[in-house]
Amino acid sequence: MSNEQNAPSSAHFDTLVVRAGIRPDPTTGAIVPPVYQTATYVLPEVGVNKGFDYTRSSNPTRQTLETNLAALEGGKHAVAFSSGMATVDAVLRLLNKGDHVVCSDDVYGGVSRLFNQILTRFGLEFTYVDSSDPEQVRAAMRPNTKLVWIETPTNPLLKVTDVAAVAEIAHAHGVPLGVDSTFATPALLRPLELGADIVVHSTTKYLSGHNQIIGGVAITSDDEIGEGLRFCQKSIGAVPSPFDCWLTLGGIKTLSLRMERHSSNALAVARFLEAHDKVARVSYPGLESHPGHAVAKAQMKAFSGMISFELKGGIPAGRALLNHVRLCSLAESLGAVETMITHPATMTHVEVPREERLARGLTDGLVRLSVGIEHVDDIIADLDEALRAC
């Protein structure tokens, strides 16, 4: 292998995050390839280009990111978008009017909003089931079902779905399985290896990891799906900026290390919360008490950094906790190095009627915690102090 090469495809995951797809700058040898912050490319002559003609269609920095992400998921094609939502939208645009989708019932609220309030207007139909019970997926399949869409673990209730079991059900009906694996990342879960056909990430979260960008990616080994997504990327144009791709590449280099720390911190925080008398219930796939623990243990390398828990004191307790934390940041989003905390009843889901919110399991005292990579003792001390106010 020449010194200019990056990594063999057989390399370990921890090597791929640092190396896959990344070649030194051919002009200077710079170890970090530059940002190709350009809209267009000068053509050497009419009808000839060097692989790039316009950045909406293709850009070297974006291509590097896509190559890297395809390697991390063990997929053939990775197609990057300007947000996680734009990515989910692109996947759904592979369907046609009248097609039906079976979907996890606890998908991220932005995803169900896209499905229910926009895509239904274009003739798509959705059935929501608790996909942590694969039999519910099987029962919801219809002759016009064209996609099964799951999130695992889910946002915000951390439900876990057996990817291999649901892939088998989807394939028995001749339809692809799409997995939003944002919470797990390829460091902890490899859905394509378990039979999924498309993996989607909001790269805004753990993949970039530093609260600096909004982005998304879809990865597949299916050529037809890959070409369809590439066509959507250039035709719709929801592309990430080269600079955002470059920042994402920088973040990915430490993905393995960060996920180890997120996971070990979260397990310790979850155990602390589970033993706390102000806390009614903790949902973390790494806890033995989690109903999806056995499946999570079998299919994931570790359990990631997301916890949801329920305070006994309902809305007043939620407000008190969020107003008294000092280290944990009161901020939407997740998956970054900083610990972030949200209270769905007064923040992300404040506009959802209470009955509907409760029906979705988003109780008054529910708190979602994205455990960061700070020292775990400091995170626990902050929560311990703030819980006194609840």
Ligand X SMILES: Cc1ncc(COP(=O)(O)O)c(C=O)c1O
Q: Is the CB of 85 or the CB of 345 nearer to ligand X? A: 85
Tell which phi-psi region holds residue 338, choosing left (phi > 0), alpha (psi between -120 and 50) or beta: beta
Q: Is 244 a catalytic residue?
A: no
**Residue closest to 184 by CA, chosen among 156, 210, 153:** 153
* Dihedral pair phi/psi, residue 25, rounded to 5°: -55, 125
Report how far residue 352's alpha carbon sits from residue 358's, in angstroms, rounded to the nearest whole number. Answer: 10
Q: Give 360's Cβ-side CA count (13 Å radius).
A: 24
Give residue 42's identity as a one-letter amino acid code: V
CB of 98 to ligand X, least distance (A): 25
CB of 53 to ligand X, least distance (A): 28
CB of 216 to ligand X, least distance (A): 5
Q: Is the CB of 93 or the CB of 271 nearer to ligand X? A: 93
Among 106, 162, 180, 197, the one annotated catalytic: 180
Site residues (vs ligand X, CB under 6 A): 83-85, 108, 110-111, 151, 155, 180, 182, 202, 204, 214, 216
**Residue closest to 387 by CA, chosen among 336, 345, 328, 304:** 328
- Please check whether residue 311 is in contact with residue 390, taking contact to mean a CB–CB distance below 8 angstroms: yes
Answer positive or negative: Cα dihedral of 103, 183, 284, 390: negative
Among 205, 261, 357, 368, the one annotated catalytic: 205
Helix axes 242-252, 60-73, angle to 10 degrees: 40
If DSSP codes are grouped into helix, strand and coil, which group holds residue 23?
Answer: coil
Q: Is the CB of 32 or the CB of 350 nearer to ligand X? A: 350
Among 56, 76, 278, 319, the one annotated catalytic: 56
Report how far residue 152's alpha carbon sits from residue 214's, in angstroms, rounded to the nearest whole number. Answer: 20
Contacts of 90 (CB under 8 A, 6+ apart): 79, 81, 218, 229, 232, 233, 236, 238
* Dihedral pair phi/psi, residue 84, rounded to 5°: -65, -40
Q: How many CB atoms lie within 10 A of CB 99?
A: 18
Q: Is 108 a catalytic residue?
A: yes
Q: Is the CB of 225 or the CB of 306 nearer to ligand X? A: 306
Q: Is the CB of 119 or the CB of 390 nearer to ligand X? A: 119
CB of 86 to ligand X, least distance (A): 7
CB of 205 to ligand X, least distance (A): 6
Q: Is the CB of 90 or the CB of 390 nearer to ligand X? A: 90
Report how far residue 148's alpha carbon sits from residue 169's, in angstroms, rounded to the nearest whole number. Answer: 9
CB of 87 to ligand X, least distance (A): 8
Among 108, 128, 206, 284, the one annotated catalytic: 108
Q: Give 386's Cβ-side CA count (13 Å radius).
A: 26
Which single residue brings its beta carbon nearest to ligand X? Answer: 84
- Residues annotated as part of the active site: 56, 108, 180, 205
